[in-house]
Amino acid sequence: MQTIKYPQKNDWNQILARPTIELEEMKEVVKQIFKEVKADGDAALRKYTWFYDRVKIDELAVSQSEIDDSEQFISDELKQAIQLAAKNIETFHKAQKIESDLIETTEGVSCWRKFTPIDKIGLYIPGGSAPLFSTVLMLGIPARIANCQEIVLCTPPDKNGQINPAILYACKLVSITKVFRIGGIQAIGAMAIGTESVPAVYKIFGPGNQFVTAAKQTAIQLSVAIDMPAGPSEVLVMADESAVPEFVAADLLSQAEHGADSQVILLSWNEKLLDAVQIELKKQLKKLSREAIATKALNNSKMILVESAVEALEISNQYAPEHLILSVKNEDEILNGIQNAGSVFIGNYTPESAGDYASGTNHTLPTNGYAKSYSGVGLNSFMKSITFQKITRKGLENLGPSIEIMAEAEQLEAHKNAVSIRLNKTC
């Protein structure tokens, strides 16, 4: 990791720049695949599964028996761990239910909201070198709590055309039955457009590489919503002399191993800590099976020595990290100033891995600076609200004259008349 000491404020943007994602270059590729999916349906999905994954797929859908049998191929310890994570995720997301009260804004004017599920949901679950069965829980559980009627899940097959059994076990646990062995651009195209086998959905969720990200952006143009814009995974750690160097290094590496384009940032006003973390990074890096990937990510990453906690907080808010870890003694002072972050992890014993798996919060979070304007996935991500209002005769008499004046000022005569004709009507 590059170490930068006391950077000037006008250099922050350059220092904090993320690894670039060349989505523009992929737009034509995505457009062509979507075009073929629309024209050829399942045949296009098989074609591109062979082209990209070198796997020939006869049956795109995963059978119920494959889902049911999946638990035979994973250990009891893993099943118990997944069950614990599912319980905590369910507890946290159930608590997010919102009930709207009827509000009388003016005498005789009643307004309220009704929350309804998005009927058709698509989930994309990466399944290559890191089969993210945890994401099945993070997306499938709130979708079920929201009572989404149809949940479609796509995940890429292995070289034998099979799906990782832990992914299928997680599907079984959260009652997802429409599972397809499709990955990449073609999977997003299938859920956005629909084929003979894969139902079209109204909103697509889930992480993925730059190809999946580009495909999700294209899906928006087809009136299919997505969870949020996305980029490579990232973490920012803010630490002082109270931090444990081994812990900080482990947290940085846990993000770095996601992908070569991931980015990790360490901010501190204690130079000795930076030196200690550098030593720990070298020690721990050698022990990782994904050492090559993590090493490339660290080349995109920085340790920054700043003057104070106040300056560190300002930099963090400007960066708007997906994950923010606070390993500081005066954490309350920092917490009150956090404006932009996807999810925050507080204290030496709160690793980011906890949120990735089992603490209960959702790990589908805004990246690439989008934490300035987007929230992470929660129960409301799978729902929408409809507003209602009912006005009595007395209510319209109270409200109507103001509506007439405003409509006339905007030169919308029919709007005014819709009120006037009612007020002038004698019952």
Instruction: List active site positions.
Output: 322-323
C-beta separation of 180 from 61 below 8 A: yes
C-beta separation of 207 from 181 below 8 A: no
Strand order across the beta sheet in which 2-5 lies: 2-5, 302-305, 263-268, 234-239, 323-327, 343-346
Half-sphere exposure of 330 (CA within 13 A, CB side): 8
Residue 203: phi and psi, rounded to 5, are -150, 140
Please state, in angstroms and rounded to a whole number, the distance separating the CA atoms of residues 426 and 248: 75
Q: Is 233 annotated as a binding residue?
A: yes
Q: Is 75 annotated as a binding residue?
A: no
Q: Is 124 annotated as a binding residue?
A: yes
Q: Is 227 annotated as a binding residue?
A: no
Residue 63: phi and psi, rounded to 5, are -75, 160
Q: Is 417 annotated as a binding residue?
A: no
Q: Is 415 annotated as a binding residue?
A: yes
- Cross-strand pairs, 106: 109
Q: Is 368 annotated as a binding residue?
A: no
| Sign of the alpha-carbon dihedral angle for 199, 202, 204, 210 | positive
Q: Is 356 annotated as a binding residue?
A: yes
Q: How far apart are the first and last CA of the chain?
A: 79
The total of other beta-carbon atoms located within 10 Å of residue 226's CB is 21
Tokens 């904090």 sit at which residue? 16
Q: Angle, to 10 degrees, between the axis of helix 413-423 and the axis of helix 393-409?
A: 150
**Which positions make up the binding site for substrate?**
233, 255, 258, 323, 356, 410, 415
Cite the annotated binding site for NAD(+) by residue number: 124, 186, 209
Binding-site entries: 124, 186, 209, 233, 255, 258, 323, 356, 410, 415
Annotated binding site for Zn(2+): 255, 258, 356, 415
